[in-house]
Amino acid sequence: MASLPPSSISRGVVACSAGNHAQGVALSAKRLGCRAVICMPLATPSIKVNAVRAHGGETVEVRLFGNNYDEAAGEAKRLEREDGLAMIHPFDDEHVIAGQGTIGLEILKKCVSHPVDAIFVCCGGGGMLAGIATYVKQVRPNVQVFGVEAADAAGMTASLAAGEVVTLPSVGLFADGAAVKTIGSETFRLCQKYVDGMVTVDTDQ
């Protein structure tokens, strides 16, 4: 958000997320003193909604909309289009991907004294997986990076298998922060290039 031009900051920003991205945008908006509308699915756990409100300030509005991420994202896109708010995408944005990639830096720093064979990364829209895999493969190409998805929301798994971005007909909501029907085009490109494989897990796992 700090990279946005002043004109965008003055109009405000909009984001859609059921998890950490929403909290980050809220805190950034508070520090930058700009308006932010955070769209979250109606089923978002109250602990996450309250965390966003706690990180934000008077200029941050939490708007609960839709039954899943994709429906809430539709509302965010409407606000971008009609109100001129700057979209802060939760995963398909190069700055967001780069920021999430710093997790890879932290992991390798903590493991500097012993070898790392593989890193497993939770995947929803693919931002964190793409960022970590891209960074790790530049500095430690021998370390394998695997994405982990809920079996009923495995959009990256399906897309990599198909060789193109595919939209799932439906997604489960148990892993609400990673329940995305359509992954990002940029996250797909990076994951296709750098990720070694995908793993799916059920809700019991």
Mean pLDDT in consecutive groups of 10 residues from the start of the chain, 205 residues: 90 90 94 94 90 91 90 94 95 94 95 90 94 97 96 93 93 69 94 97 78
In the block, residue with structure tokens 């978002």: 44
Give φ, ψ of 64 to 5 degrees.
-85, 125
- Given this model, what pLDDT does residue 118 score? 97
**141 Cβ contact list (under 8 Å, min separation 6):** none
Helix (H) or strand (E) holding 121: strand 118-122
Determine the pLDDT at residue 20. Answer: 86
Residue 77: per-residue pLDDT? 96
Strand-pair partners of 86: 13
At residue 173, the pLDDT reads 65
Question: What distance in Å separates the CA atoms of residue 180 and residue 199, rounded to the nearest whole number?
Answer: 16
Which of 187, 102, 197, 184 is CA-nearest to residue 147?
Answer: 197
